[in-house]
Amino acid sequence: MKTSSTSQAITTPVNGLKEGDFKLPVEDGSIDAYFAAPDTSGRLPIVLVVQEIFGVHEHIRDICRRFAHAGYLAIAPELYQRQGDARTYTDIATLISELVAKVPDEQVMADLDACLVWAGLHGGNLSKVAVTGYCWGGRITWMYAAHQPKVKAGVAWYGKLATGHGPLIKQNPVDIAAKLHAPILGLYGGQDASIPMDTVQQMREALSKGNINAQASHIHVYQDAGHAFYADYRPSYIKSVADDAWKRCLAWMSKNLGL
């Protein structure tokens, strides 16, 4: 697997943006969330940015700012907050068993729905909604696109396709592939040990038998990349792959949102 020898967290400037933390109203109270948007008037296309397994840390916030510079109202909610703080864990196995495995999809879907309500009240265009997610959020991207009819485009970054984390998982992307409400672009690494290529092929076959949005979806595999190739703060980062994937992401959203 090829990795970058110079991985360093990218910091996107806030010039020309409005951004910050806010309390997102949800069904049982509120959770923390972050948003970024161009400091302009008018209704903006919306992108829900779904966290990695590590929560809404600085990398996810920076991605929101990247989308904001591209013209989007980007929102990243803290989807584990009821169960705990992912940033307090140093061991991934413990993080998964003690926190991630206790987060039901139903809770996540409802919180993302709440993001859309908030976005509609704060300058977002609810007819132009995209969702994207990384690692854990990559799987959620597929699931949310089958849940929410307002979604018009999605980009799933190296999210599991045939498995989830823990006993609360009832379905996975391969199970809902046929009934997507929007075309999804999947971005995956051919050397990703956590997502076997046979599950990628399984997903492709499921999409090919699905509805019009399923059949319009596409999975692109970077053969020499592993997991988290876009995570510029980690050794797994591959700049050339990340740059190409970002361009594909923006082009996919623009096309399917009619921008």
Coil/strand/helix, residue 10: coil
pLDDT at residue number 5: 43
pLDDT of residue 164: 86
| Nearby residues of 242 by Cβ (< 8 Å), 6 or more positions away | 229, 230, 232
Q: Which of 105, 111, 192, 232 is catalytic?
A: 192
69 catalytically annotated? no
* 162 DSSP assignment: S
pLDDT of residue 85: 92
Residues 6 or more apart in contact with residue 179 via CB below 8 angstroms: 146, 210, 211, 214
192 is catalytic: yes
Residue-level pLDDT at 6:
54
Give catalytic status of residue 64 as yes or no: no
From residue 258, alpha-carbon distances to 64, 97, 128, 171, 251 in Å are 20, 41, 8, 31, 10
Binned average pLDDT, 10 residues per bin, the chain of 259 residues: 59 96 97 97 96 95 98 97 91 93 96 98 98 98 98 98 91 97 98 96 98 98 97 96 98 97
CATH T-level fold of 17-257: Rossmann fold (3.40.50)
Given 59, 165, 181, 227, which residue is catalytic?
Answer: 227
C-alpha 225/C-alpha 215 separation (Å) is: 25
Of 135, 147, 232, 249, which is the active-site residue? 135
The pLDDT, as a whole number, for residue 166 is 84
pTM above 0.75, yes or no: yes
